[in-house]
Each structure stands twice: as C-alpha cells, then as structure tokens.
Structure 1
Amino acid sequence: MFPEFTVSDENIDQQKEAVLKQIEENKKEIEKLLEIKDKTYKNFVRPYQLLQEKLGWLFSPISHLNYVKNSEKTQEAYTSVLPALTEYHTSISQDERLYRAFKQIYENEKDTLNQEQKKVLQDLIRDFELSGVGLPEDERKKIKDINIKLSQLQNSFAQNILNATDSYEMIIEDPDDVKELPEIEKDNAKIERDGREVYRFTLHQPSYIAYMTYGSNREKREQLYRAYVTRAPENEKILEEILSLRYEKARILGFKNYAELSLATKMAKSPQQVIDFLRELARKSRPQAEREYEELNEFVKDLGLKDDVQAYDFAYYSEKLKKEKFNVDDEEYKPYFEKNSVVEGLFKFLNRFLKLDFEKVDVPVWDETVDVYHIYRKGSLIGRLYLDLEAREGKRDGAWMDEWVSHHEDEKGNIIPPVAFIVANFSPSTDKNPSLLRPYDVETLFHEMGHALHHLLSEVKEPFVSGIAGVEWDAVEFPSQFFEKFAYDREVLKLFAKHYRTGEPMPEEMMDRLKNAKNFQSALAMVRQLEFALFDMLIHLDRYTAEDVQKILDQVREEVSVIKPPSYNKFQWSFSHIFAGGYAAGYYSYKWAEVLSADAYFMFIDNGIYNDELSESFYTEILSKGGSRPADQLFRNFAGREPDIDALLRLSGIKNGQEVS
C-alpha cells in the first residue's frame, strides 16, 4: 500500500537511474496519449497526472535524502538528475500539443466535470501559458535553458549554506564564557581537544541558539553571530544571477517583472497590493516594536551594558528580560517538553480535535532517530507520516514538511493513501539526556504537523489538486499557522507537559506564565518578518545587481526595522527561502496566510477549542479539500465571511499602533 524508504548512499545511484528511466518512459507514454483520437479527461488527463505522480515517487527519496543525510553521494545523485528533471518538466510545459489537448477537453467537458477535475484543467492551462507555450521556438528554448540554470543555481545556493554551516566551529576554553549555559547545553557542547576539555559551538540551530541565548561572553556571541550572518559569501554572485534569470524569464513571458509572474498563481492580485499590505502591518506594528526595544535597552542598563542592545545581544538579553518580566526561562520548560512526550501529546490533541489515531509502525528509515506512524480517522487508514526531528551533521537547518505520495485514485479506481515527512532540528538525544524541546520547538512541531495534515487528510482524487498541490502559495501556511497557535493552550499542554525524570505534570502557574509571555516582543518579531517579506518583494521588481540588493535591504531596514543589524550582516547570502526554496516574491505569504489562521483560531477560542461542529467544518472545508478550490472560497465556506486583518493584530496584541492589554 505504501512505498518503503530504502534509498541510501549504497543504492542511490540505482534510484537515480530509475528516475532517469522513468523520465524517458514518461516521454514515450505522453506521445502515446497524444495519439489518442478522441481525448477525454478519463483517457488523457488522469493518465497524464499519474505519470507525473509516479516520477515524483521515485525522485522524492533522492531530494529528501540530500536534505536530511547529505553526503557526496547524495549531492552527486541529486545534482546530476536535476537538469534532466528540469528539462523534462519544462519541455512538457511548453508542448503546444498538450496545451491544445487540455484546452479542448476543458471546452468539451466543463459542464460534466466535477470541481476537482475542472480545477486540474484550469491550473494546467494557466501553468502552460505561464511557461510560454505560445511563444516562438527560440523564446521557448530560452525559457527552458533559464529553468535548468535556475534549478542548478538554487541547488548550489542551498549546498553552499549547508557546507558553510557544517564547516564552522567556535571553540571556547574558558569555563566563565559558558557559565550561564544550562547543564544540558554544556554537556552537548563539551568535547575533548588536544587532551583538554573545551566547548564546541557550531552554526547548526541548537548549538548556535544555545550560545546566542546563554553565552556570557559578548565578544564570543558577536564572533558566532558574525560567522552565521556571513555564511557562504559565494552566494552573492549566485543570487545576482538568480535574480537576473528570473527577471529575464518574466519579461519573455510578458510580465513587467518576476514579482508579477510569481503572483499570477497566488491569492494576492499585484505586487503593489502586497507592498501596501506589508507596510500597513509595519505602520501598525512599529510603534509597539519601538517601545519593546526601548524597554529592553532600559533593562540592560541595570545589567551594566553601556550601549544599546545589538543584534548579537538580542537573544541573550531578551531571554533575561522575559525571565524577569514573566518568570519564563526556556531552560526551565525544556524538562517538561521531552520530544517523545510532546509527540504523543500532539497526537492526543489531534485525536480530540479531529478524531485522528496514530499507530507507530516498524518500517525502513534513513536514520535510527526517525519514527513512522500510520494515521487513522474513524477506523479507516488514511496515511503514513515520517517524523525526523533531531539535529545532526549533514542535515539542512530549519524545519519543514515534504510530501512523498499524494492522496489520489489510481488507474484501477483504487485510493492511494498519502505519505508525508516532517523534518526538524531539535536538540539531539545523547547517552545522558533525551531530546528536550524549547517552547518555540513545540510550536514549530505543531506548525509542521499542520502542513502534514493539510497533505494527509485530503479526500481529493486528482493528484494535481490533492493535499497542498494546487493550493495558492500565499494560503499554504494557513493550516500550519492555525495549529501552531494551540501549542501553549492550557488544555493542550496538560496532554504532554510533564517532567521527563519525575513524570510530574507542569504546574498550572508555569502554563499561565508561558501563555502570558506569548506576545513578549511580538511587535519586534512582526517587524522582523515584515523586513524579510518587503525585501523579497522589492528585489523582484526589476533586474537588480548584488549591490542593488544590498541597497534595497538597507532601505527596508531603515523603513521597517527597529534593531538595526551591523553593516557586515549579509543575511541575503543565506536567505534560502527565496533563493533556494519556493518563496521567491512570496515570503509575504506567511503574514498573508496568518490573517486566515488567526481569524480561524479565534473562532475556536471564542466557541471552545474542542468544538466538534467547528472542527468537522474545518476538516471538511479546509483540510480535506486540498487545492481543489480557491483558498478564499474555502475560507468563506468555513467562516461564512471574508477574513479580518485585525485578527492578526489581535493575536499579536497590536491594534492601530497601540498595545492591546
């Protein structure tokens, strides 16, 4: 029923050959489909989708392994297959015979097709047009060459970050420099070097965050920070080339710039609408962000800091202020958030919220720390979920969900259940200690589970609009942001927050403190995200050089930011979301979608989080529909109205520039 993950360094070459063979097989099968005289949805569109789905089944293990267990073998396999895959997808997306066939089928059958089938064809026709199907041959070839080059550049951008992250270490010899680190973090950092006990810190998230939050030596904090924000300088040339190629592609396709091309498949209608949206949020958020920064600076004066808090001080002093103000210390909470306990508690919450059951299964995995579950709803098996949550060498930083198999109907009418991966970089377990999560890690796990459920709970039979496929990019964060908001709810915390040694539940006053601190420096966090989003949109409005990009970033920081980073900060060199991921001219999507998620969240808060009627509606109208309908329509079906931007401000404790009490 499910494919097994058996790809490793030892057999990845065979998997690569299987992908290349399937590409050639797909080309032959597409030619056979084109020979059909009377083409219909059933004999043409459905087989076409299944061919692409099969290719994805074979390629996903290669790309996944390259991200979670990177090696020379995975790099070689991924890099060598990428051009062939890109050339294939670009070639078929520009095939006028396919385009005409899809248009003809749509015209002939639109009155008898169901909504899912209509959406498949509407998206296909739109995407063919955005691929330049009607352009002269030389321009189509140019688009194809650009796509292949972009895929290679984006892969290089990501690989450079990973290499830089893996290659750096900061060794600390003086115990005074780590005196404030929690014992668990000290144990994780402690190594023997040249016969002496020293402390090793890297740019991987758990290690980096530990020292930036608790490192006593300001010079060492800046040293580590500088290494982090100047990673992969070779990416400056790459990002310039990426921006140039994106601009060129957009112009060939008839758009003014890449931002317009990007928005052609999103909810937002124009770059200016996005820019106005972001600036409105900034206008309403910045006054409170300035007050938050002023409060932090007043606080550190009493601690002896003579100048203002700098970017490399922020985590360190913010943690102290949060502890002072709310008596909340991440390290105090970590013993109550043991990884396995949190996972089990999340499953209990989802059982009450959506009637889901999770069964652990023993199947092949790529690392011994990976766990696998089958998911059931009301007694029926609906999908498989892989959880890979602990940090390790050779694993890309951050957290994400990726899909392997979509819920769909095969050629025989059988339902194929979906498969998803959730990947994170939480503190790794050791011989001495289990993996213990910070409160933010718990929130991250709930977030990624929202993405996974959006994929796994689909009831759509057409793979091209099942799960997250076909969902507008600026709506794809809606379910994930929705679920993360329950992470600190007292009733949810009671399901899993217990001390990993004693089994004692987290005291209710600790839960209250955590919830009270939820909006601590929320406006500073808001303007930071708005900085990234506005920067992303603005650099895609023209053909900009690396020098232009720096100037735009400086201008955005002047307009939006409250804590100004040092001049050596080259954040753009490691902004993989837009230069190696799917968020180019789309990073605003986080805030755009958060309006939807905040609005939906308050519907539950105001009516009870375990509200069966609301939960069933959320399942039916949002999670199970995938990309089969426009996201704004699905939200209206669920809420009975348009989304309200003030819900996001309410969630963050911000209203028209004033703090909400």
Structure 2
Amino acid sequence: MFKEFNLEELTQSKVLLEKLLEQSKNEILELMKIEEKTYENFVMPYEEIGESINDFLTPIFHIDSVKNSEVTGKVYEECLPVISKYETWISQNESIYIALKAIQSNYKTSLNDIQNKVLENEIRDFILSGCHLDNDKKKRLEDINLTLSELSHKFSQNLLDATNEFEMIIENEEDIKEIPVSDLELAKFEEDGKTKYKFTLQIPSYMAYITYGTSRDRREEIYKAYCTKAPQNGKIIEQILKLKNEKVKILGFNSYSEYSLQTKMASKEEEVVTFLEELGHKGKAKAIEELEEIKQLASKDGINDFRSSDMAYYSEKLKKAKYDLDEEYYRPYFEQESVLNGFFDFLYQMFDIKFVQTDAKAWDDKVRVYNLLSNEKEIARIYIDLEARKDKRGGAWMNNWHSHYVDSKGEKHLPTAFIVCNFPQSTDTTPSLLRHSDVVTLFHEMGHALHHLVSDIEDPYVSGISGVAWDTVEFPSQFLEYFSYDKDVLKLFAKHYKTQEVLDDEAINRIIKAKNFQSSLSLVRQVEFALFDFKLYQDLYNSEEEVQNLLDEVRKEFAAIIPPSYNKFQNGFSHIFAGGYSAGYYSYKWAEVLSADAFYMFIDSGNIFNKELALKYKETILSKGGSSNMDQLFYNFAQRKPSIDSLLKIDGIIS
C-alpha cells in the first residue's frame, strides 16, 4: 500500500531518472494525439505522470538534506539539470497549454469546482513559465531556471559546510559554568588527558553557548562565526537577484515581487508592504521597551556597551528573573518519546487521527515511521526525524512525498510526508531532552504534515499542500503551535523522564506567562526579515553593498537593536535564497493572522479541547488542501473574515 523508502540504487539515480523522464515524455506525446481531449482522458493521466516523477525524485533530493555526503551531493548535482530540462520542456510546452485551455473552455460548466481549480492553477502556471513566448526567450528561461537551481543548492551547501567547519574549544571551566549539564555532556570530550568542551554552529550547540555561556568574549566569538558564515554566498546572492530580475522581465513583470504575488492570496505589492509596516510600527515602541529592560539587567554586570551577542544570554536571565522560567528545568519533562506519545494522544482526541509505529525502512536508525489511522483505516504515513546530526541541514521542515488522490483507473493513492528537526541528540546514557521551544517546533511541523496527510481531495494537484497559496501555507502549522502553550495539552506529555512526575501547574503557568516574553522584539525582527525580502525583489540590487544598504534601511526603521556591521545575516537567509520564500517571507505573518483568529475561536468557545470545532477545522481547512482559495475555506470555517487584532492580542501587543 505504501511505497517503501529505498535508496539502494542512489548512485544510479541519474540514469533511472533519464529513463523515467523519457517514458513520461512519450506518454505525454501520446496524450497529445487524443482528438477529443477531456478532463478524464487528458488532465488526469497528465497529473499522474507528474506525480510519478515527484514520487521518484523526492527521496533523492531529501536524502541530500538529511544524510548529506559527497555521494548525495554528487547525485543531486547530476539529477538537477536532468529534471530542470524536463520541467522546462513541460512548463513551456504550448501544446499542453492550448489543450488545457480548450478543456477549460469546452467543459467549464460540466466540471466540478475542484477540476476547474486545477485547470485555473495549471493555466496560470503555464503563463508564468513563459509557454507563450518565442523560442529564444524560452531557451533563455530554461538556462536561467537551471542556473538558479544550481545556485540555490550551492548556497545551501556552503551554509552546511561552514556550519560543520567551525569549532570553538573551551578548556576553562569558568567559561562554561552556567551551561546546563545536558548540553555540557554533548559538548564534552577528552584530549591529552584533559576534559575539553566543543561548541559548533549546529543550532543545539550554538544556542547552548550563546544563551548560557559565561564568557562574553566567547559569546561574541561564536556569534560572529554564526553571522559571518559562508561569505561566498554574497556573490551567489548577486547572481540570484540578477537572474530572477531578468527572468521576470522576460515574462513581462516589473519585478520579482509582482511575479511572486501571482500565486499568493495577497494581490498587490502595496498590500504586503502596508501590512508589514503597520505591524512593524505597532510593535516597535514596545520592542524598544523590551530591549531597554534587557540592557538594564546587563548594566548590573557593568555592561554599558550592549551588543547583539549579549541578547540571548541576558534575555534568558531576564526571563528567569521575571517568570522564574529556566528552560533547562523543563527539559527532563520534555523527553522526546514522552512528548511524541502525548502529542499523538492529543491529535487523536481532537481529530480522531491515530499514529501507529511501523518498522518501515528509513534513512537513519533514529527516524520513526508511523501509519496514520482514521476510524481504524490507514489514511497516510509519516517519517519523523527529530535529532541533530552533522550530516543534516539545519532548521526544521516538513516535506511532502506522495499525495492523496484517486487515479484514472480508480485506484486510491495514500499520502506520505517527512518531518525533520534538529533537536538535542540522545546518547546511550541520556535520552533526547527537548526545550519547550522544540515542542513548539514539533507542533508547527506537524501542522504542515496534517495539512498534507488528512486530505480527502481526489485530485493530486490540489490535494494536501499542493495548490495552496504560498502566503497561507503556514496557517495550519501556526494554528497547531498555539496548543503547545495550553496547560491541559502539556499535561498529556510533560512528565519527568526518570520519575514520571507530571509537570505541576505552577511550572506550566510560568511557560504560559512567558509565551509573550519579548513578543514585540520577535515581531519587529520578523517584519525586518519580511520587508527586506519583499523590497529586495521589488527592484534590482546589483551588488553586495546595495543589498546591505537595503537591509540597513529596513533595520533603521524597524529594528530595536542594530547588529554589528560584520553581521551578514543575508548570507545565511536560506528561506529566500535556497528555499521557496523569495518575495514571500511575509507569508509567516500573513498566515499568522488566520491561525491566531482560528485559535481564538477555541478560546471563545471556553474549551480548548472542543472536538466539534476541531473536527470542523479538519473538515473545512485541513482536508480541503488547495482545492479552494484559503480566504474562502477560512470563511467556511469561521463564517467571517479574519481579524488582525486576534494576532496582536495573542502576542500581548494589544489587550
């Protein structure tokens, strides 16, 4: 029923891909010969060909992120031009475009809403890929798209290499005296008969020192290493910006931002900029107050030249002073196994989704594989890879593999997805103990996964996360996040891994009270990233210096603290240079308006475990995937339009 994850023929991927694509091409050419093309005899088989390619290719690209090596990198680089060439052939194929237009014109009234949505999306994407242009322009677009794919991969690889190259070795016990025991255990090693401690730029290790490291100079050292890594990416950014600008000019758009909005819920550039600026201006005054509070605490240690590298350390001290909240106190209560089991219990209570672990093969021994059941019937499969590894790309993400759909032969295909995080590692003696922030991340990524996995749409191109507008794709993930701060939800899994004692009410209340700690600082930081991204693609910035000047301008207006001049944040901004968020990073805040408003309905109902409301959310939002525009789906759920005030209330910015 489920296709197994198997990369035994990884090194043969290029040859196998070429064979698959040749076969796919021939099948499409056969479809083109059909005289009376219909949705059933043309569109459905066409989609299935696309799905089979995605099914084959996803594990090959995925493995390069989770088990990176010379071999995976080589295979990735071999396959990239092959698939790029095929995708260009498809996306610029005027005959397919004309066939889809004809089906839309001839059958629009007899097709259902979902089928019309598929045609609408596909026709739009063909126009955006330049299928109507002359051959010279098509050829140039093909070259640009391939080069952009290669540059994005190089950007990501440079970051991973730089992350793995840096080590900060500490011998002086004074410099590590405040670091939690669990982090010290992971950092400790013996050399020349001495105990030493190694800190790296992998997030769990970096966060341990920047948050708890006693030595100010050492904090500055690791901070500087983190925000100056991969300097060669500056030149890659120049190339990416130039090529994206050339691409959209060929397609007839004024800017990449304008082009980007063609597939989003927001319709105008001014709408996005105004939205972000409104949020930024509403949050800045309070953000400056929050910063002053941190500075005052630092001044008690004689620090009057407060630096960006001091933020995490003194923020943690301030949080502990205000809420008596020590992240480390909680970690024994958030043991990975307990969190997962309690989380699954919560999802069953709310959405009638049961997780059953299987022994299906994965890419690492630490990966867990579960089948999802609804009414005792298998509906999906998920692979969960939570722990940091040296060969794993940083960050956290959900990746969809198979989609839910019914094919032209009437056979049902079940969806699969991957959740990848970088949580503290387990060892033979210590289990993986999470911070509450890790728990929040897990809820977030599961929100994405459920959006893909509980789909009941029978058409693959709008099933699950397929076809969902980019600026609303974060809605289900952020919505689920809010539940990770609820007392009764936390009690399902917050149990001490040694004693099984449940975290007490007072300790949980401290987490809840601290939720909006520095929420305004966080808001203006997100606005800074989003405005920088969006404005960067509204014009052509030709050099590293021009890119930096733009970032400086945005920071001047919205940032509470200006980082040091050596900080080259942009060189690590993989969301927009190695991911899909170019001119779309604003999506996080845009979607958060929807998620906050949806969550408020549970608060207003007086019952966070409101199953009737949860099942309505599952039915009207999650299961519908990309089959309708999200503003319509939200209206179906809430019976009203979303309000920005719910977000500002949840963040404690307004009352």
Distance in 2 between residues matched to 1:422 and 1:392, nearest whole Å: 15
1:487-519, Cα deviation, whole Å (9 max, x unpaired): 010010110000011110001100011101100
- The one-letter code sitting in structure 1 at the alignment partner of 2:232 is E
Q: Which amino acid aligns with 1:125?
A: I
Q: Note if contact 2:248-2:255 (Cα within 8 Å) is conserved in structure 1.
A: yes
Structure 1 contact 16–62 (Cα < 8 Å) conserved: no
1:558 aligned counterpart, secondary structure = helix
Q: CA deviation at 1:63?
A: 0.7
**What's the offset of the Cα at 1:135?**
1.1
- CA drift of 1:626 comes to 0.3
Amino acid at match of 2:562: K
Aligned to 2:132: 134
Letter in 1 for 2:494: A
**Alignment equivalent of 2:566, drawn from 565, 568, 571:** 568
User: 1:18 touches 1:58 (CA, 8 Å); kept in 2?
Assistant: no
- Of 253, 256, 259 in structure 2, the residue corresponding to residue 258 of structure 1 is 256
Q: Which amino acid counterpart does residue 645 of structure 1 have in structure 2?
A: I
Measure the CA separation in 2 of the matches of 1:495 and 1:88.
49
Q: For the Cα contact (< 8 Å) 2:13–2:79, is it kept in 1?
A: no
Task: Give the distance between the partners of 1:193 and 1:530, measured in 2 at CA.
Answer: 45
SS in 1 for 2:640: coil
**Contact 1:621–1:638 (CA under 8 A) maintained in structure 2:** yes
CA-CA distance at 1:390 after TM superposition: 0.2
Of 592, 598, 601, the match for 2:599: 601
Determine the structure 2 residue equivalent to 1:272: 270
CA-atom RMSD in angstroms:
0.9
Q: Gaps spanning 5+ residues in structure 1: where?
A: none
Residue 533 of structure 1: CA displacement? 0.2
Tell whether the 8 Å contact from 1:39 to 1:101 is kept in structure 2 after alignment. Answer: yes
Query: 1:533 & 1:189 partners in 2: Cα distance?
Result: 34
SS in 2 for 1:255: coil
Matches within 5 A, 1:377-526: 377-526=374-523
CA deviation profile, 1:135-170 (whole Å, cap 9, x unmatched): 111111111111111001111111110111111111
Counterpart in the other structure of 1:165: 163
Asked if structure 2 preserves the Cα contact closer than 8 Å seen for 1:539 and 1:549, the reply is yes
1:31 aligns with 2:26: no
Quick one: which of 312, 316, 325 aligns to 1:315?
312
AA of the residue aligned to 1:591: K
Displacement after TM superposition at 1:543 (Å): 1.4
Structure 1 residue 446, shift from structure 2 partner:
0.2
Q: Matched residues in 2 for 1:92 and 1:433: separation? A: 51
Alpha-carbon distance in structure 1 between the residues aligned to 2:139 and 2:227: 38
1:96-245 to structure 2, matched below 5 A, reads: 96-245=94-243
One-letter amino acid of the structure 2 residue matched with residue 649 of structure 1: L
Q: Which of 75, 78, 81 is the matching residue for 1:80?
A: 78
SS state at 2:356 partner: strand
Deviation of residue 197 (structure 1)? 1.6
Alpha-carbon deviation of 1:62?
A: 0.6
Report the Cα offset of residue 414 of structure 1.
Answer: 1.6
Q: Deviations over 1:67-93 (max 9, x none)?
A: 000000000001110111111111111
Which residue identity lines up with residue 42 of structure 1 in the other structure? E
User: What's the CA shift for 1:303?
Assistant: 3.0
User: Which residue of the partner structure matches residue 578 of structure 2?
Assistant: 580
Amino acid at match of 2:653: I
C-alpha contact (below 8 Å) 2:40/2:408 kept by paired residues = no
Is 1:7 the counterpart of 2:7 in the alignment? yes
**Could you tell me which amino acid in structure 2 is paired with residue 342 of structure 1?**
V
What SS is found at the alignment partner of 1:313?
helix
How far the C-alpha of 1:193 sits from its partner, in A, is 2.7
Match of 1:300 among 272, 295, 298: 298
Q: Equivalents in 2 of 1:160, 1:383: separation in Å?
A: 35
Following superposition, the deviation at residue 599 of structure 1 comes to 0.2
Contact 1:454-1:479 at 8 Å conserved across structures: yes
Q: Is the 8 A contact 2:352 2:374 kept in 1?
A: yes
Provide the C-alpha distance between the structure 2 equivalents of 1:331 and 1:605, rounded to a whole number of angstroms.
29
What is the aligned-residue identity percentage?
53
2:524 is aligned, of 519, 523, 527, to: 527
Q: Which moved more, 1:16-25 or 1:271-280?
A: 16-25
Q: In structure 2, how many angstroms separate the alpha carbons of the residues matched to 1:586 and 1:449?
A: 21
Partners of 1:138 and 1:543 in 2: CA distance = 23
Deviation at 1:305, TM superposition (A): 2.0
| Counterpart code for 1:438 | R
Instruction: Give the match for residue 340 of structure 1.
Output: 337
C-alpha offsets along residues 37-70 of structure 1, whole Å, 9 cap, x if unaligned?
1111111000000001000111011111000000
CA contact (8 A) 1:15 1:58 kept: no
8 Å CA contact 2:6, 2:361 repeated in 1: yes
- How far, CA to CA, are the matches of 2:596 and 2:191 in structure 1? 49
Aligned residue in 1 for 2:609: 610
Instruction: Give the alignment's TM-score, normalised by structure 1.
Output: 0.98
Which whole-Å CA distance do the structure 1 matches of 2:615 and 2:205 have between them?
41
CA contact (8 A) 2:635 2:641 kept: yes
Q: Residue 195 of structure 2: SS of its match in structure 1?
A: strand
The answer to whether the 8 Å contact 2:283/2:524 transfers is: yes
CA distance in 1: counterparts of 2:152 and 2:451, whole angstroms: 26
1:302 to partner: Cα distance: 2.0
Q: Please give the secondary structure, in 2, of the residue aligned with 1:198.
A: strand
- The offset of 1:307, in angstroms, is 2.4
Shift of 1:481: 0.1
Give the residue type in structure 1 aligned to 2:570: Q
Q: Does 1:48 align with 2:57?
A: no
Q: Aligned partners of 1:26 and 1:48: how far apart in 2?
A: 9
The separation in 1 between residues aligned to 2:622 and 2:259, in whole angstroms, is 27
Contact conserved, 1:375 with 1:382, CA < 8 A, in 2? yes
Paired amino acid for 1:386: Y
CA displacement at 1:433 relative to structure 2: 0.8
Instruction: Give the secondary-structure state (helix, strand or coil) at the position aligned to 1:171.
Output: strand
